[in-house]
Structure 1
Amino acid sequence: MEKTLLSLFVSGDKKAFEQVYRCYSERVFKRLLYLLKDEDEAEELLQNVFVKFWTNRAAIAVEKNVANYLLRMSDSMAIDLLRRNISRKAVYDHVSLQTNTTSNSVEDTFMQKEEQKILEQAVNLLPPQRKLIFTLCKMEGRSYGEVGEILGISPATVSNHLVLAMKQIRTFASQYNNELKALLFFPFLDNL
């Protein structure tokens, strides 16, 4: 029964999709709720899981267990969502800390702006694909798997590009490290 239903689903039968949804949505929802601990997020991600399941139906092997496939997919998508939420929270906490700290000196503010400029310059010097991968993973907080899917490459290739990007950025930034420190002290040398 399941193989026949799955065959119809893979061929694009919407009725078969509705049956699959009715059969497995409650189980997937419970799994997502367990992982996310938030009913609204679980409900939204449930919809995304089934949209992705429908979109990728041609790649589904009919002889595979549908329940296991859906649960693995939902686990992966929930983990990606949790990672993004953690990343966003870290950025929010950092920004909040920065705005709440009134003791930032002029030198600290200057250093932060200069460091940001240097980072932007370093990222702009990366080869196009490496720059895109760096931006998607480090700036947008996407997982290696997500970026690999978007670009049609493996997560290992994404990781390799990130390692090379970080090395190139560190090398570029290290050229400016001593210059930044010197810039801060030059104004004081005039007074000596």
Structure 2
Amino acid sequence: MNITTIEALQHGDHQAFEKVFLGYFDKVKYFLNGLLRSEADAEELAQDIFVNLWQNREAIDPQKSFNTYLYTIARNTALNYLKHRSVENTFQESSANAMQEEAYGPDEILFAQEINLLVEMTVSSMPAQRSRIYRMSRNECIDNAAIAQQLGISKKTVENQLSLALQDIRRVISAILVLFC
């Protein structure tokens, strides 16, 4: 942009603003998209930048590089947006965690953790093959046929071992529930 266009913009010339807008909008949007990786956010922020440019046109120094001025504004706008989004995400995560903790009180959370530990101890004390089959089924979400194929055993053996593992776990949990309830 030449200095006369920038001076005209500074003095409120709408045609000068239109010329600047048409000359720079796509470049600013492309620059923002590179930083934000979101075309919709880049477009919205680019529009905001040009609205602010018009509102603060008196602050433009026509003697300085307009490119540098505009890209500095775009960079700062993108950084502020990313910071705001990060704070917002952190707040949403902490709110979700707080709501989860409210839904389940400390006693319920502790009890669930103790049950999980008890299940893990029970699975660890099972015979090696039964323990392995249970972990493959429940932790790795592998279906019975695939477990049988991987271990070189029949599907019926896998089903029997899972049934025995679940019986062991039910027995231990039942004993704990009798004690605490």
Q: TM-score, normalised by structure 1?
A: 0.53
One-letter identity of the residue aligned with 1:2? N
The match for 1:99 is 99
CA distance in structure 1 between the partners assigned to 2:33 and 2:72 by the alignment: 14
Residues 1:65 and 2:65 aligned together: yes
The alignment yields a C-alpha RMSD, in angstroms, of: 1.4
Deviations 1:54-102 (A, max 9, x none): 1111011111111111110011011111111000100000011122234
Q: Residue type of the partner of 1:104?
A: G
Larger Rg computed on CA atoms: 2
Amino acid at match of 1:19: K
Letter in 1 for 2:106: S
Cα separation, 2, equivalents of 1:51 and 1:38: 20
Matched residue, 2:37:
37
User: 2: CA distance between counterparts of 1:48 and 1:103?
Assistant: 43
Alignment of 1:108-127 (within 5 A): none
Alpha-carbon offset, residue 103 of structure 1: 3.8
- The alignment of Structure 1 onto Structure 2 pairs a total of residues equal to 106
Q: TM-score, normalised by structure 2?
A: 0.56
Cα distance between partner residues in 1 of 2:56 and 2:10: 9
The 5 A counterparts of 1:10-159 are 10-101=10-101, 102-105=103-106
Deviation at 1:48, TM superposition (A): 0.5
Q: Distance in 2 between matches of 1:68 and 1:16?
A: 18
Find the aligned partners of 2:26 and 2:91 in 1 and give their Cα distance: 34
Give the superposition deviation at 1:104.
Answer: 2.7
Tell me, in whole angstroms, the C-alpha distance in 2 between the residues paired with 1:104 and 1:4.
68
* Structure 1: runs of 5 or more not aligned: 107-192
- Structure 2, unpaired ranges of 5+: 108-181
Could you say what secondary structure the match of 1:12 adopts? coil
Q: For residue 63 of structure 1, give the secondary structure of its aligned residue in structure 2.
A: coil
- 1:25, 1:66 → 2: CA distance? 13
Q: Matches of 1:29 and 1:68 in 2, distance apart? A: 15
Q: Percent of aligned pairs with the same residue?
A: 29
AA at the equivalent of 1:98: A
Q: Give, in angstroms, the shift of residue 38 of structure 1.
A: 0.7
